[in-house]
Amino acid sequence: MAMRQEKDTLGFVKVPASAYFGAQTARAVANFPISGLKPHPALVWATVLIKKCAARANMATGRLPREIGDAVLSAADEILAGRLADQFVVDPFQAGAGTSHNMNVNEVLANRAAELLGGSRGVYDRVHPNDHVNMAQSTNDVFPTALRLACLRLTEEFLPALALLRDALGRKGEEFDTILKSGRTHLQDAVPIRLGQEFAAYALAIDKNLQGVERALPELRELGLGGTAVGTGLNAEDRYIDLVIAELARESGFPLVRGRDLVERMENMDPFVALSSALKGTAVNLIRIANDLRLLASGPRTGFDEISLPALQPGSSIMPGKVNPSMAELTDMVAFQVIGCDTVVTMAAQAGQLELNVMMPVIAFNLLSSLTILSNAVRKLATSCIDGIVAHPDQCRRYLDDSLGLATVLAPYIGYAAAAEIAKEAVRNGKSIRETVLEKGILSDERLTALLEPMSLTTPGVPGKH
């Protein structure tokens, strides 16, 4: 591979001749060969957008020469359009609060801008990564701002996916509303419920998760950009700060505002903790729903078999005809990963010291990963699983008619202890509650039929009393 030689403050560094990145990125690649992964595309987008808006703001204040600024803007637009994506190469696991990522972006923009001005890559006399592209900025205010923007962008994709799942569950709640079945608590027989009520409850739970994510967004829109190294704003004019945030709001479409205290915006990671926590809460509910679906669809001959999930692929390499609940299992695994990511975000957020949290790269890696995989998973769960669920009303009714939970209906009339005896006797004799009550002559057939009318047992009230 052809190489060029660049010099930074530590000395000379070999850089691939064709690369748009420079010495500091090359050092980072050599120092941090950890995961083999590249930065999240949303983080690259956000960082480049910040550089573009900073260049425009610095031109407006007169600090950045227009010729250089225009070249940086053109280079940024090329990258935002999808070019040079392979030039952002620093592993997400890196030191320095994201300095390597920030310099990767600075160097690519500087080299491309220099080319546009007739210069060569690796020669920074026309456009310099620090002096021009990073003007009035520090990694310490750029990186947390970029992470905020990336989170906002990915949340724009996640919320519609979550709404899609909520609506799919809600439709099944309506479709299954007249299907009666036995409720189960502790996985034991309980009082009747409608299958539609179960799905309606799932839909409401997801809607509450959606609202929880939305509640985390306002803090992400309050930026610390302009705080530079420690939040005091050294080397950043006050007018620049207002201009760059206004430019970011215009370019991104997000209602961004200047932070009330730039030091606080830099030190504290609580906006990311809040969003991650909301994602974890969503994951917890998804696990519960997915596991319910797996249980309700278990069988088909030796399980509940109250519903069928869509058959997506053969389920076994050895057992012919076996079909597994693939999307429910996939959802579980994604949700487990999101919960793990939240733990990392929490640990990293509390690890900040004094004016800076140097663990921001691992917060970014885990939070953006959670948003990405969760968005994809809930969309697939909705379209490839929930939409295609089929209920088995006859099977549901068989379990209901045989459920010992129906003894609960008798308690207001014969007392708890007597109703418990009826249930135990039904178990001993292998008979239903109805059969046992009629055999013992406790209630007439007509009275018992009225009390055990299933639909009335799934709404508030005491059966048989009006």
Question: From the candidates 18, 35, 120, 316, which is the catalytic residue?
Answer: 316
308 is catalytic: no
In this prediction, residue 72 carries a pLDDT of 99
pLDDT at 260: 94
pLDDT value of residue 41: 99
- For residues 301, 307, 310, 311, the Cα torsion angle rounded to the nearest 10 degrees is 0
- Residue that has been written with the tokens 């479409």 in this structure: 253
* Domains in the chain, CATH or no CATH each: 14-135 (1.10.275.10), 141-394 (1.20.200.10), 402-458 (1.10.40.30)
Distances 97 to 210, 249, 270, 348, 361 between C-alpha atoms, Å? 30, 24, 16, 11, 6
Mean pLDDT, consecutive 10-residue stretches, the chain (466 aa), reads 93 97 98 97 99 99 98 99 98 94 99 98 97 98 98 99 99 97 95 97 99 98 97 96 98 97 95 99 99 97 95 77 90 99 98 96 99 99 98 96 90 90 92 90 86 83 72
Question: Under a CB-based contact definition with an 8 Å cutoff, are residues 203 and 173 in contact?
Answer: yes
Can you give the pLDDT at residue 466?
55
Label the pairing between strands 222-223 and 307-308: unpaired
DSSP class of 455: G
| Pair of tokens at residue 250 | 């215009």
Q: How far apart are CA 194 and CA 454, in angstroms?
A: 9
Residue with token string 């829109």? 221
Give the relative orientation of helices 360-384 and 139-175 as an angle to the nearest 10 degrees.
20
